[in-house]
Amino acid sequence: MSEGMHIFETVTRELWVMHNEGYLRDLGQVSGNYYWAAREIEQLQKELAVALSKEDFEKLTQLQDYFINQETIAGEIFYNQGFADGMSLIMQSAMWEAVRR
């Protein structure tokens, strides 16, 4: 077996292990945690709307919007870099045997 195919098969096997049934159950737990965090945020927003002046509450809401936007952009960067790294690994694995000759 060529070294390139060995690397590719190793990566494929690790990806499969990472997405097995146990890991998917963990994703269910993460989804539940996300749901409850969203409910807690809504409750805090209601409490702050009552406790703060309208102007202060609007500033806090704007801060939250900016933070969400920043985190969304960071997630996109992370995802795109991971995709680029994955494609680079695939290309390097496919070309490994040709380079070694």
Higher pLDDT, 47 or 21: 47
Asked if 96 contacts 7 with a C-beta cutoff of 8 angstroms, the reply is yes
Stronger pLDDT, 41 or 6, i.e. the higher one:
41
Unique residue bearing structure tokens 């290309």: 91
Distances (CA, A) of 93 to 53, 65, 101: 59, 42, 14
CA dihedral (65, 70, 71, 73) positive or negative: positive
Taking 90 as the threshold, does the pLDDT of residue 46 lie above it? yes
pLDDT, position 58: 95
pLDDT tens digit sequence for 52-76: 999 999 999 999 999 999 999 998 9
Determine the average pLDDT of the residues in 64-90.
89
Asked if the model's pLDDT at residue 96 lies above 80, the reply is: no
